[in-house]
Amino acid sequence: PVIEVDNLEEFVLQPAPQGVTIKCRVTRDKRGMDRGLYPTYYLHLDNDKKVFLLAGRKRKKSKTSNYLISIDPTDLSRGGENFIGKLRSNLMGTRFTVFDNGANPDRANADWSNVRQELSAVVYETNVLGFKGPRKMTVIIPGMNADCERVPIRPRNDNDGLLMRWQNRNMDNVIELHNKAPVWNDETQSYVLNFHGRVTHASVKNFQIVHSSDPDYIVMQFGRVADDAFTMDYNYPLCAVQAFAIALSSFDGKLACE
């Protein structure tokens, strides 16, 4: 199916249509003085037109990892009108939360309608020994309603977000996903996943996200195809911002994610 992007802002926040895999490509740009430390990541549709979708970059001077996500490849500013979301980690770099561009709860209007939504959270299991085995990721996203639209989750404080709900097993309107466990391959002496030709380079960063009730339905997959190029494919119920932010979290270089 031809994927049409008429309104970019709408498209990147809309869940993929059911039955359609949206195939994308992530490129990492390390050129320039501080790009080595703060590369810019670009997301394009992986088709003939290579339509630009999103750009992401880590903010400097931030105590925790904090990535801005923009619908303009040249404007990665917090105040710009192209700011569409952000990814924020905890101090350890093991848990990430993805927000849209709504307001901080401190600046809520009377009916909370302007408060930011949480779009997803990612939890990496800590790897204290630095063991090089496959990583374990849990992805938590808002549930979907009867019309196949995302249920808005607008936490009023830090105790009400996706991570806290998941931790307290308060799973109303919350979906828990996991990365698919790779299988050991004796021939290559490595853990492998079947990406059906979409991933060509082995990397600890390659992953597939599934729901435990249907491990064959790949909600999202991500993997390396060149030094600074990766494929990222996502399916319903994810949207581009959710999938791109999950991919960005996997680049963050803390012990837990190595």
Residue 135 near residue 124, CB atoms below 8 Å: yes
For residue 68 the two structure tokens come to 């801005």
Residue 88 near residue 97, CB atoms below 8 Å: yes
Share of the chain above pLDDT 70, in %: 92
Higher per-residue pLDDT: 226 or 255:
226
Give the per-residue pLDDT at 255: 43
Give the per-residue pLDDT at 51: 94
Tokens 């600074």 locate to 228
CA atoms within 13 A on the CB side of 202: 9
Tens digit of each residue's pLDDT (9 = 90 or more) over 133-177: 567 899 999 999 999 999 999 998 878 899 999 999 999 999 999
Give the per-residue pLDDT at 258: 40
Query: Is the pLDDT score of 233 beyond 50?
Result: yes
With cut-offs at 50, 70 and 90, classify the pLDDT of residue 257: very low
Closest alpha carbon to 209 in 193, 228, 225, 188: 193
Give the per-residue pLDDT at 169: 95
Higher per-residue pLDDT: 191 or 28:
28
Give the per-residue pLDDT at 253: 61
Tens digit of each residue's pLDDT (9 = 90 or more) over 115-136: 899 999 999 986 655 555 567 8
Mean predicted confidence (pLDDT) in 228-254:
92
Mean pLDDT, the chain, integer: 87
Mean predicted confidence (pLDDT) in 8-27:
95
Give the per-residue pLDDT at 210: 97
Tens digit of each residue's pLDDT (9 = 90 or more) over 59-93: 887 778 889 999 998 887 777 788 999 999 998 88
Q: What is the pTM of this model?
A: 0.91
Give the per-residue pLDDT at 33: 61
Beta bridge partners of 121: 97, 140
For residue 258 the two structure tokens come to 């190595």
Query: Is the pLDDT score of 186 beyond 50?
Result: yes
- Nearby residues of 99 by Cβ (< 8 Å), 6 or more positions away: 85, 86, 88, 116, 117, 118, 119
Give the per-residue pLDDT at 103: 87
Q: Into which CATH architecture does domain 8-14+21-251 fall?
A: Alpha-Beta Barrel (3.20)
What residue spans define the domains of the chain?
A: 8-14+21-251
Give the per-residue pLDDT at 184: 80
Task: Provide the phi-psi class of 243: left if phi over 0, else alpha when psi is between -120 and 50, else beta.
Answer: alpha
- Inter-CA distances, 214 with 26, 209, 238, Å: 26, 11, 16
